[in-house]
Structure 1
């Protein structure tokens, strides 16, 4: 799917200078991943995104998830293999361009720690795992997984260069994860929840684009590093994020109230403030410039958001069980 950067690093004082860009010479500090080069190419820190495969079924129908935990876990591993394949394809296609980026030049392929042929072998291995595991899943889950893979390959090839299309593909990827998780455990399909997931993830993707615009020293530099940025401005992104916040909350409320449970109204009253806090807190992080190019890591390292997420999922699950 997309190629977020920002690997943990240590400083190498003896590193050679970075290649020049159109704006001059990038800093001479070299960043090395603490992970070995081959695993780092698969971006394991990004795999947490695939937990949507389990979290959404848990929110929709906890009993179904527990009863079908084996296919749910198989779907999780399948999507992890699919996303790892996409990361390898993305870095292989962008390896020359990434060498000119102040952060992405430290990726395994761009830095030369992994060769192009070796990366292709690794990607083929991930694709093999995907096919072997996917063959054991229900046909509907196979179709969603195939759609996810094809959509993200298209993103790597061309779609990431088009404003709004790029972030829409990212958000659709999360919606497909949620849909696959529900299908794997035979949980009821819930359109309002899928729409809410899409809107919330689209908001986060736009927040990342806003960070990239603000962090760029020159607009020309940002456009060179990510062509889609030419179609964005900070005021536009701010307006779109507020719109998506409202759409996500409305869809979520419809999801909770439509549940065939006697305590649906109580669940809505209890969980709605938590959902509002989560989105408002993320907007606060964006406004305070405390987000990076990895929104997922920002969310998982923000203590208030983590506590809020635990409380929300607990309240929603209890409301479904009672």
Structure 2
């Protein structure tokens, strides 16, 4: 019998996913909204905490409201982003398990729920918050949606947009409560955010190790040397900004036992140095994961919070 040549089968393209049952859609929407990322929105307490005005009933209520509004806006962005990227995510070894890419949430539903959340958040903000808060949320949504569509493909701009999202979270408590923001506070939070964003990108680039398509496509355009330069520069400016901010009230008389605000510089610098260990190793992933999974860093953070609390209480 003559040998029969067996032609190799052409690789099958991923077809459209099967529709999910109705109950699965709700769970999929929740997963797409990234509940683990909501911890980032705790940054809304930064401005009132820095001003020492966090513990009145009005401040706590307004801060909780702003946290909820920012959570709704960020969830809206995640839903729209996954709907836009559904086709590309299906070809990705990890992202194909996202609910929209996997078919658990239809693309149209993700778009509709995302739009509804964004509109609802802006409506509630217009009703219950000062106008600057509404404008800031509009700017956040516009910037993040532009990032989803095109800006995430632009070198350096992608870093700036993600950093700006962190900065907006940190400053929104100021206009929400009528608290003036120190220029050193803005510098510290802005460059601190850039430090963590660039450290995460650097870690992704190190893990990627030249494998095309293994992660963000734009990372092939960056060099690890450049990203290392960015996070090191940002760390230095953040430390300098914090020191200037802590010393800003250095000449004001205090009746406390020690100048806790100035001493908190030690804890802040130690935290940056500890975080830089993970950045240098290429293991700095999501900032909240780094902080919550490293006991030493969590302890340093707790010491910093205690020192600043003592400064605010003037003990």
> How high is the TM-score relative to the length of structure 1?
0.83
**Which of 150, 160, 168 does residue 152 from structure 2 map onto?**
160
- Give 5+ residue unaligned stretches, structure 2: 1-10, 15-23
Distance 1:321 1:110, change over 3 A: same
Give the root-mean-square deviation of aligned CA atoms: 2.4
**Which aligned pairs between 1:16-35 and structure 2 lie closer than 5 A?**
none
1:290 matched to 2:283? The reply is yes
Contact 1:199–1:245 under 8 Å retained in 2 = yes
Q: 2:224 matched to which residue of 1?
A: 234
Q: 1:276 matched to which residue of 2?
A: 269
* Bigger CA radius of gyration: 2
1:112 matched to 2:103? The reply is yes
Write the distance in 2 (CA, Å) between the matches of 1:60 and 1:300.
25
How far residue 221 of structure 1 moved from its aligned partner, in angstroms, is 2.7
Q: 1:80 matched to which residue of 2?
A: 71
**Which of 112, 121, 124 does residue 130 from structure 1 map onto?**
121
Q: 1:198 matched to which residue of 2?
A: 190
How far residue 270 of structure 1 moved from its aligned partner, in angstroms, is 1.6
1:103 matched to 2:66? The reply is no
**Which of 172, 178, 182 does residue 180 from structure 1 map onto?**
172
Write the distance in 2 (CA, Å) between the matches of 1:128 and 1:165.
26
Measured against aligned partners, the alpha-carbon deviations of 1:247-291 in whole angstroms (never above 9, x if no partner) come to 001111111111374349923442111111111111111233433
**Which aligned pairs between 1:239-254 and structure 2 lie closer than 5 A?**
239-254=229-244
How far residue 39 of structure 1 moved from its aligned partner, in angstroms, is 0.6
> How high is the TM-score relative to the length of structure 2?
0.84
Measured against aligned partners, the alpha-carbon deviations of 1:141-184 in whole angstroms (never above 9, x if no partner) come to 11111111111111111111112111111111111111111221
- Give 5+ residue unaligned stretches, structure 1: 1-17, 22-32
With 257-266 and 129-138 compared, the bigger mean Cα shift is at 257-266
Q: Which has the higher contact order (CA 8 A, sep 6+)?
A: 1
Regions of 4+ moved over 6 Å: 18-21
Q: 2:5 matched to which residue of 1?
A: none
Write the distance in 2 (CA, Å) between the matches of 1:102 and 1:19.
15
Q: 1:43 matched to which residue of 2?
A: 34
Determine helix, strand or coil for the equivalent of 1:201: helix
Write the distance in 2 (CA, Å) between the matches of 1:138 and 1:70.
14
